[in-house]
Amino acid sequence: MISHPKDKITTPQTVVFITSYNIAIGILTLPRVTVEEADSPDVWITVILGAVIAFISGIIIVKLSQQFVEKTFYQYSQDIVGNLVGKAFSMLFIIYFLTLSALEIRVLAEVTGFYLLENTPGWAMIIPMMWAGIYLISGGINPLVRLLEIIFPFTVIIFMLVLFMSYNLFEIDNLRPVLGLGVAPALKAIKTTALSYTCFESLLFLVAFMKHPGKAVKVVVIATIIPLVFYLLTVVMVIGVFSIDGVVTRVWPTIDLITSYELRGLIFERFDSLLLAVWVMQIFATFIITYFAGALGFAQVFNKNISLSIYIVLPVVYIIAMIPKDLNDIFTLGDWIGNSAIFLFGTVPLLLLIITKLKGGKVNAKI
């Protein structure tokens, strides 16, 4: 049960929470991975379709969680399918969140090491970030959300600023012809773009923290639109500047876009370091969200104090983060996480919602 009043967050805070969770690694790699899959400049259409799929998944998760507004998935799953199966599902979710947390902190170290702190060992960047994250979430969800409220406005303003400053390099012909190869290429990359919107799984535990869980559908609508705008603008601008042939040759095409221009006479002539500073905070935000989700699940499944659970899962996250040997291994891990998300958050919540309805579950959402 989530009963302490300080453990409750407002509807706007929930939107910031989910949006911050969504906008992290994906914004740096989405143009490349979608173009690789579709081999067409029409991937901006795929970005929209992916948002629609993610929205439907988010609604299903909300409708399920609203049946048990005082409990998280780790608790109510056992009420639906029994202790054994419920705990099995919960363990899969815990593994997912902890692995994603490890991926986020490893990518943070890779990006920081490549662009800002060259020749710095990965562990020297990962360990301080992990300890800072533990310090933050040891206070519960409220300090976490307050940090996100500080980071998010800076992310929006700076990202939009540096993105539109590349307009002089933009060539609309790089996006033409629209559907020149038909609809098939745009549909081919839907899986990739849909996985870029994986964030609504957080509502499986977040609804229990909401002051007004009945407004969770509104949260899904807003938290779909904001990342959609981010991803759509990013894909259009990156492809418009580099073309699809140029995008597939770049590991971090969004960062390369920012480094491709400079404006003389301003305080900052190059904006890549400014963007990276903000994005390091954004990736860190995603890391602490997923770390909190995994630690919370461990605490509730094994009836442990969450303060203790935070430290118990620490070595697990660190070991997973250090397993990939290079960027190829990191991207392979990311693909594995994305594929597992299809089953975990596309199938399990729908299955549990159907079972709940068949059992005559009573909706007790608080408006």
- Ramachandran category for residue 118: left, alpha or beta (phi over 0 → left; psi -120 to 50 → alpha): beta
**pLDDT per residue as tens digits for the range 201-215:** 999 999 999 999 999
The runs of H, that is alpha helices, within 248-326 are: 253-259, 272-301, 306-312, 314-322
Q: How many Cα neighbours within 13 Å face the side chain of 54?
A: 34
The answer, yes or no, to whether residue 337 has pLDDT greater than 60, is: yes
CATH number of this structure's domain 5-333: 1.20.1740.10
Q: How far apart are CA 97 and CA 295, in angstroms?
A: 9
Residue 8 phi/psi, 5-degree rounding, is -95, 145
Q: Are 24 and 286 in contact (CB under 8 A)?
A: yes
Instruction: Give the relative orientation of helices 348-358 and 327-346 as an angle to the nearest 10 degrees.
Output: 10
pLDDT at residue 313 in the model = 94
**pLDDT per residue as tens digits for the range 135-174:** 999 888 999 999 999 988 888 888 888 787 777 888 888 8
Mean pLDDT, the chain, whole residue set: 85
The answer, yes or no, to whether residue 4 has pLDDT greater than 60, is: no
Q: What is the pTM of this model?
A: 0.88
Residue of 180 and 73 predicted with greater confidence: 73
The string over 247-274, giving b where at least 16 C-beta atoms fall within 10 Å of a residue's C-beta and e elsewhere, is: beebebbbbbbbeebeeeeeeeeebbee
Q: How far apart are CA 76 and CA 94, in angstroms?
A: 15
Q: Are 295 and 307 in contact (CB under 8 A)?
A: no
Instruction: Give the relative orientation of helices 43-65 and 25-38 as an angle to the nearest 10 degrees.
Output: 120
pLDDT at residue 263 in the model = 56
Q: Are 162 and 271 in contact (CB under 8 A)?
A: yes
Q: How far apart are CA 46 and CA 203, in angstroms?
A: 24
